[in-house]
């Protein structure tokens, strides 16, 4: 039975091939070309018999091309996105660059109270610029910026900061925008820098110590100012300026106000001027110059009180007085005032406490002598003697001058008994030089 089925199937296949046995060309609908030659096959399939050109308008779906080049540029592959620039690959095909024209987008990252900030920008380049700003959008200069790889930047600050950092990335060789500049600062041609090109309001950032600034953008009210530990800027100190206290002033505590006696002249330096009740001079000559009217042109004049009795002035001499000599000083004019020792008596005096009178006693009917100096005394000068008030009864005394400027005191006992001497008593002698 099985044998019969197999024989039937083989017969059916052979009968189906009968139409093809006599056919020498396979038709297109049968998977062939319908032709017995290559040229006929191309014709059957609609292909051009030889190489030839066609206009852009003959290509379905293409209306035209940009530019005048005879070569039609096409994208060679790769994903495209709005805003991305095109670039050539190694094979000369146009592909997407994968980034905007003129460079990559900026990356921004917030941070708070940090001294080190890691910025993972993922811009894929080491060619980056980093700028940081505080909470008030004022530019803050970092203490340092490190670029460890093409996707990361690390910013360091000397003190904790709060704000944001912006990373700008530019691909190597990327071109910026084109266009010409009409003028710079209103000037054309070869423009060089000159004063006034910028004002402080156009300058951002913080001026450092080396440029004459403080390198600090914020301050704490009431705090003292100090140089930072790294020596790069001025900053608010940790405490207010009012530190420490005074135990007392002039021995007084509490609220001390000025009072008489706080200072003596010995504690005051300098020279008191005329306006402070002084002369404004350290010598007599300069004091006269400061206080008196000028000498110049006043030769032969006398100094006198003004008619209002409020000042002095130079005027004509009446009889004697102070007069100017040759405009350089003052002298007494008229009769010279002097002392006539022949008409006016003079005197010299000295005193001394004497002791050692013959063992403390003066024997009966005897005398004892002691002396003391009186400079200028000469032998024969008249002496007015000054005696102790408690001189013992029975003693008499005399004084006389010697040639060597001394006075001799002689005490004599006129009684028949010894008398105590005036030990440690004061004696005075006055010499009068008479007319």
Cβ neighbour number for residue 134 with a 10 Å cutoff: 15
DSSP 392: P
127 with 78: CB under 8 angstroms?
no
300 with 323: CB under 8 angstroms?
yes
Q: What is the mean pLDDT of the chain?
A: 77
DSSP 291: H
Under 8 Å CB-to-CB from 298, ≥6 apart: which residues? 314, 324, 327
Q: Within the chain, what is the greatest distance between any pair of CA atoms?
A: 211
Find residue 120's DSSP bridge partners.
Answer: 152
DSSP 187: B
Residue among 253, 433, 258, 405 at smallest CA distance from 344: 433
DSSP 386: E
Decide if pLDDT at 173 tops 50.
no
Decide if pLDDT at 120 tops 90.
yes
Q: Where are the domains of the chain?
A: 21-50, 106-169, 293-338, 346-433
Share of the chain above pLDDT 70, in %: 71
| Spatial separation of the C-alpha atoms in residues 429 and 348, rounded to whole Å | 8
Decide if pLDDT at 435 tops 70.
no
The predicted pLDDT at position 335 comes to 47
Chain segment 205-221, per-residue pLDDT in tens: 777 777 777 888 778 88
**Helix H segments across 79-181?**
none
107 with 114: CB under 8 angstroms?
no
Sign of the alpha-carbon dihedral angle for 221, 224, 229, 230? positive
Q: What are phi and psi of 39, to 5 degrees?
A: -60, -45
Residue among 373, 372, 400, 371 at smallest CA distance from 385: 400
Chain segment 136-171, per-residue pLDDT in tens: 999 999 989 999 999 999 999 999 999 999 998 765
The mean per-residue pLDDT over the stretch 319-337 comes to 50
The predicted pLDDT at position 289 comes to 73
Question: Which is more confidently placed, 41 or 390?
Answer: 390
Cβ neighbour number for residue 425 with a 10 Å cutoff: 16
Residue 176, class by beta-carbon neighbours within 10 Å (0-12 exposed, 13-18 middle, 19+ buried)?
exposed
The three-point CA angle 144-147-150 to 5° equals: 160
| Spatial separation of the C-alpha atoms in residues 86 and 66, rounded to whole Å | 15
Decide if pLDDT at 175 tops 50.
no
Report CA-CA distances (Å) from 215 to 139, 205, 219, 233. Answer: 11, 9, 11, 5
The predicted pLDDT at position 40 comes to 77
Please report which helix (H) or strand (E) contains residue 288, including its range.
helix 284-291
Q: What are phi and psi of 267, to 5 degrees?
A: -95, -5
The residue to which tokens 């009012």 are assigned? 242
Decide if pLDDT at 176 tops 60.
no
Burial track 230-256 (b if 16+ CB lie within 10 A, e otherwise): eebbebbeeeeeeeeeeeeeeeeeeee
| Spatial separation of the C-alpha atoms in residues 322 and 329, rounded to whole Å | 10
Chain segment 26-52, per-residue pLDDT in tens: 777 777 777 777 777 777 776 655 656
Residue among 206, 99, 218, 101 at smallest CA distance from 161: 218
Please report which helix (H) or strand (E) contains residue 21, including its range.
helix 2-21
Decide if pLDDT at 414 tops 90.
yes
Under 8 Å CB-to-CB from 100, ≥6 apart: which residues? 83, 84, 85
Q: What are phi and psi of 149, to 5 degrees?
A: -155, 180
Residue 352, class by beta-carbon neighbours within 10 Å (0-12 exposed, 13-18 middle, 19+ buried)?
middle
303 with 322: CB under 8 angstroms?
yes
Decide if pLDDT at 247 tops 90.
no
Sign of the alpha-carbon dihedral angle for 9, 12, 16, 18? positive
> Whole-structure pTM over 0.85, yes or no?
no
Residue among 206, 207, 114, 208 at smallest CA distance from 161: 114
Strand order in the sheet with 302-305: 312-315, 302-305, 321-325, 329-333
pLDDT category, 71, cuts 50, 70, 90? low
Share of the chain above pLDDT 90, in %: 23
| Spatial separation of the C-alpha atoms in residues 68 and 141, rounded to whole Å | 51
The predicted pLDDT at position 417 comes to 93
The mean per-residue pLDDT over the stretch 66-86 comes to 61
The predicted pLDDT at position 183 comes to 75
3-state secondary structure of 274: helix
The predicted pLDDT at position 32 comes to 74
């Amino acid at each position: 039975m099985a044998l019969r089925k197999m024989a039937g199937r083989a017969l059916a296949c052979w009968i189906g091939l009968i139409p093809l046995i006599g056919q020498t060309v396979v038709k297109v609908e049968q998977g062939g070309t319908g032709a017995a030659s290559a040229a006929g096959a191309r014709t059957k399939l609609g292909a051009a018999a030889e190489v030839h050109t066609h206009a852009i308008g003959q290509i379905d779906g293409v209306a035209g091309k940009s530019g005048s080049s005879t070569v039609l540029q096409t994208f060679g592959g790769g994903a495209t996105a709005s805003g991305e620039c095109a670039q050539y690959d190694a094979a000369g095909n146009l592909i997407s660059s994968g980034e905007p024209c003129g460079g990559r987008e900026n990356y921004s990252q917030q941070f708070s109270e940090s001294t080190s900030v890691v910025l993972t920008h993922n811009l894929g380049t080491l060619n980056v610029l980093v700028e940081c700003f505080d909470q008030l959008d004022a530019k803050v200069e970092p203490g340092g910026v490190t670029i460890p790889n093409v996707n990361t930047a690390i910013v360091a600050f000397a003190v904790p900061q709060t704000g944001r950092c912006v990373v700008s990335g530019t691909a190597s060789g990327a071109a910026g925008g084109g266009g010409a500049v009409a003028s710079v600062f209103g000037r054309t041609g070869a423009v060089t820098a000159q004063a006034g090109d910028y004002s402080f309001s156009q300058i951002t950032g913080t001026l450092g110590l080396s440029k004459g600034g403080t390198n600090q953008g914020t301050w704490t009210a009431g705090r003292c100012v100090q140089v930072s530990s790294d020596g790069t800027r001025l900053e608010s100190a940790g405490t207010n300026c009012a530190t420490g206290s005074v135990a007392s002033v002039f021995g007084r505590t509490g609220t001390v106000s000025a009072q008489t006696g706080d200072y003596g002249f010995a504690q005051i330096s300098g020279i008191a001027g005329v306006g402070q009740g002084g002369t404004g001079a350290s010598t007599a000559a300069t004091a006269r110059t400061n206080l008196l009217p000028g000498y110049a042109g006043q030769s032969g004049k006398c100094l006198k009180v003004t008619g209002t009795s409020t000042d002095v002035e130079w005027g004509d001499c009446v009889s004697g007085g102070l007069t100017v000599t040759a405009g350089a000083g003052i002298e007494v004019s008229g009769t010279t005032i002097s002392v006539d020792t022949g008409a006016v008596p003079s005197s010299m005096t000295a005193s001394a406490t004497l002791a050692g009178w013959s063992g403390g006693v003066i024997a009966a009917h005897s005398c004892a002598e002691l002396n003391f100096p009186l400079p200028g005394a000469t032998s024969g000068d008249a002496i007015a003697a000054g005696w102790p008030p408690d001189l013992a009864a029975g003693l008499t005394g005399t004084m006389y001058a010697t040639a060597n400027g001394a006075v001799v005191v002689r005490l004599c006992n006129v009684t028949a008994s010894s008398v105590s001497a005036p030990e440690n008593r004061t004696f005075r002698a006055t010499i009068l030089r008479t007319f």
